[in-house]
Amino acid sequence: MAIARRSVIMAGIATTLAATGRRARAADTIKIGFTTALTGPFNEFGEGYKRGIELAIEKLNKSGGVLGRQIEIAMMLDDQLIPDRAVQNMRRVLDNKEIVGLFCPSGSGPTLAVIDMVQADGRPTMNPQAQTPTVIYPGGPGTKPRPNVWTFSIQNDIEANFMAGILGKKFTRIGLMNESTGYGKTGGELVKSGIMKINKDAVVTHESYNQKDQDMTAQLVRVQRARSDVLMVIGLGADMAVIRKNMTRMNMTIPLYVSAGGFSPPYLEGVGDLAAGTRGSQFRKISTVPPAPEVAEFLNAYKAKHGTDRLWGTDPNVPAPSMGGTVATGYDGMLVMADAWRRAGSTDPAATIKAMDATSGFKGVNCTYEFTPEKHHAIEVGDLTTYEYTKIDGKIALVQASL
């Protein structure tokens, strides 16, 4: 009996010690947290940047982690690109005081819904996919940035300057459509004002639509009646597919230009061969051949884990440029934050923020990152290029196009 009791006691002690060891190891990790659209009609964005963060964490942990500690995702919640759900999820993330690094949701709507509470919290926050400038600069571009938030996305003003430079020089009668989110409204106004600065004789017919609308005929009729020579759409791929099919049904043969969201998988999946001729802006560096060493490392890691899948695109040898916006923004954001922890010698928020603001010459997948206390965005017009869907050997392919 005594031997049996001793065995039970020793087994209990061993179990307790094992549990304590697990808790100690867990407590010794560097924890990050975020909410994003992991399911729903726009899940390619959330799933993409989740994969990017995971690839970066695997790279960092294989090389010993940061400051002698492994990195882990402590909380990863699904908001389906719904602002109210993003707010609920972010409150849960912020309640976890062990988390030292945050990521914004996908999309400007959810991000704008949470950004004030994130700023008030004070922990360093990376923004992989929200393009509205007020996410970073509450007073607008050129004003003081939120002290603890940096963006890895293409800001609306940058994309608008790029696209306005093309449209304003090539066309005079221009149709412009944007989704009715913060991203769409801001982008539409910026593109319109940019076109008018370049071409004072331009006639811009400006329309809006709601995400997930299944018919945009009314807006397109007004664009058609205005005798527009081109249509520019600012939104996401699934909605652009509806617009493209509506245009075909209405026999609208004018050129279609799209914002970066038009190169996400749902657009091509939704329209098939009708995608041919669609042009727009996206990241330049990720599809450059041959790739830079840091890009090649990222692409090889992605292919090893996920293959040439839906997010990769249709060409097994060259990734779709949308990989820059869906996957690489999360990857770059995680690596840059980890680099700041290293340089700060700490994951303390104040020390990390100071180090983030001193980021210089960091070669990422999408660009070389440079941040200062006054500049919390990195992507500039020179980091973008024009792509076009075209048919090659009977298949739709995406190629860099002349302006």
Does 66 reside within a domain? yes
Same domain, 92 and 186: no
Same domain, 32 and 141: yes
* DSSP states of 98-138: TEEEEEPPSSHHHHHHHHHHHHHH---EEESS---GGGT-T
Q: Encoding tokens for residue 53?
A: 């963060």
Tell me: do 244 and 392 sit in the same domain. Answer: yes
Percentage of the chain beyond pLDDT 90 is 81
Q: What is the domain extent for residue 86?
A: 24-151+296-383
Checking if the pLDDT of 156 tops 60, the result is yes
Task: Specify which of 160-164, 211-215, 343-347, 394-398 reaches the highest per-range mean pLDDT.
Answer: 343-347
Strands 384-392 and 279-283: antiparallel
Q: Which of 12-16, 43-47, 198-202 has the lowest mean pLDDT?
A: 12-16
More confident residue, 195 or 261: 195
- In whole angstroms, give the CA distance from residue 164 to residue 177: 14
Does 19 reside within a domain? no
Give the pLDDT confidence of 107-130 residue by residue, as tens digits. Answer: 999 999 999 999 999 999 999 999
Q: Are residues 75 and 142 in the same domain?
A: yes
> Is residue 254 pLDDT above 70, yes or no?
yes
271 pLDDT tier (thresholds 50, 70, 90): very high
Residues 31, 168 within the same domain: no
**Each residue's pLDDT tens digit, 17-26:** 444 444 444 4
Query: Does 92 reside within a domain?
Result: yes
Q: What is the CATH number of the domain that holds 188?
A: 3.40.50.2300
User: Band of the pLDDT at 27, cuts 50, 70, 90?
Assistant: low
∠ CA 33-284-307, rounded to 5°: 60
Q: Write down the pLDDT at residue 218.
A: 97
pLDDT higher for 214 or 393? 214
Domain co-membership, 253 together with 349 = no
Q: What is residue 402's three-state secondary structure?
A: coil
Q: What integer pLDDT is reported at residue 402 of this predicted model? A: 66
Contacts of 9 (CB under 8 A, 6+ apart): none
Tracing tokens 């093309």 back to the chain, one arrives at: 166
- Cβ atoms of 398 and 263 within 8 Å: the answer is yes
Q: Kindly give the interhelix angle for 108-121 and 182-198, rounded to the nearest 10 degrees.
A: 110
Secondary structure of residue 152 in the 3-state scheme: coil
Measured between alpha carbons, how far is 148 from 98 in angstroms, rounded to an integer? 17
Provide the pLDDT for residue 393: 85
The predicted pLDDT at position 19 comes to: 45
Question: Does residue 7 register a pLDDT over 80?
Answer: no
The pLDDT value given to residue 318: 86
What DSSP designation does 80 have?
T
CA distance 1 to 249: 86
Please check whether residues 120 and 216 belong to one and the same domain: no
One domain for residues 172 and 282? yes
> What's the whole-number mean pLDDT along residues 50-76?
98
Residues 248 and 269 in one domain: yes
Show Cβ contacts of residue 384 under 8 Å, excluding neighbours closer than 6 positions.
154, 158, 159, 162, 281, 282, 283, 284
**Band of the pLDDT at 8, cuts 50, 70, 90?**
very low
Report the distance separating Cα 355 and Cα 372, nearest Å.
9
Q: Which two tokens stand for residue 113?
A: 């819904």
Q: Count how many domains the chain has.
A: 2
pTM: 0.87
pLDDT tens, position by position, 171-189: 999 999 999 988 899 999 9
Judged against a pLDDT cut of 70, whether residue 2 lies above it is answered with: no
